């Protein structure tokens, strides 16, 4: 296995969580549906809003890396949901499914044999897939910590 292959494997492990931070699936599996829309102790967002933001940001980065006709969403409005809670349990499940499906798609992109992590991206030649993977890892880790704080404030 060459250095880039090892780096790809390591990136995927970090994207999946559980290395330097707890996997996001742990807190998602434990939060009560009825608590998703509550904004505890004056926080400006709920558990649902924060997780939706993580998913929206991840999808934006995936599309940035894969779409020839990429167009950036409006910051900050397009990076946050319109409501503090999901419309239904089915909508919540669909959001989680989309997050994990898109994360897998990003990981599969990284692991493709023809992927060079250092090649410039079409959308911006100063950026590459390694940089974008690092953004997803850092952003998800940061907000996963916040999800745990909200979970604990809700007496989870």
Domain ranges of the chain: 3-8+47-153
Q: For residue 12, give the nearest of 136, 155, 143, 116 by alpha carbon.
A: 136
Rg (C-alpha) for the chain, rounded Å, is 16
- Contact assessment for residue 147 and residue 141, using Cβ atoms and an 8 Å cutoff: no
pLDDT values of the chain reduced to their tens digit, one per residue, 156 residues: 799 999 999 999 999 987 777 899 999 999 999 999 999 999 999 999 999 999 999 999 999 999 999 999 999 999 999 999 999 999 999 999 999 999 999 999 999 999 999 999 988 999 999 999 999 999 999 999 999 999 999 985
pLDDT at 156: 59
Instruction: Please classify residue 147 by burial: count the beta carbons closer than 10 Å to its beta carbon, then call 0-12 exposed, 13-18 middle and 19+ buried.
Output: buried
Q: What angle do CA 31, 52, 82 make, to 5 degrees?
A: 115
pLDDT at 22: 84
Residues counted in the chain: 156
Q: How far is residue 33's CA from residue 146's CA, in Å, rounded to a whole number?
A: 17
Quote the DSSP letter at residue 84: S
Q: How far is residue 15's CA from residue 65's CA, in Å, rounded to a whole number?
A: 16
pLDDT at 20: 76
Please report the beta strands in 40-90, taking only residues with DSSP state E, as ranges in sequence order. Answer: none
- Contact assessment for residue 104 and residue 97, using Cβ atoms and an 8 Å cutoff: no
pLDDT at 99: 98
């Amino acid at each position: 296995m060459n250095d880039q292959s090892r780096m790809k494997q390591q990136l995927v492990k970090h994207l999946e969580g559980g290395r330097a931070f707890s996997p996001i699936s742990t807190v998602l599996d434990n939060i009560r549906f009825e608590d998703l829309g509550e904004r505890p102790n004056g926080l400006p967002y709920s558990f649902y809003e924060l997780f939706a933001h993580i998913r929206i940001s991840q999808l934006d980065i995936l599309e940035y890396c894969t779409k020839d006709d990429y167009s950036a969403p409006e910051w900050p409005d397009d990076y946050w949901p319109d409501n503090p809670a999901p419309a239904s349990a089915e909508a919540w499940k669909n959001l989680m499914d989309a997050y994990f499906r898109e994360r897998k798609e990003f990981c599969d992109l990284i692991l493709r044999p023809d992927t060079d992590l250092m090649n410039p991206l079409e959308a911006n030649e100063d950026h590459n897939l390694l940089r974008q993977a690092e953004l997803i890892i850092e952003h998800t880790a940061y907000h996963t910590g916040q999800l745990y704080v909200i979970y604990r404030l809700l007496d989870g």
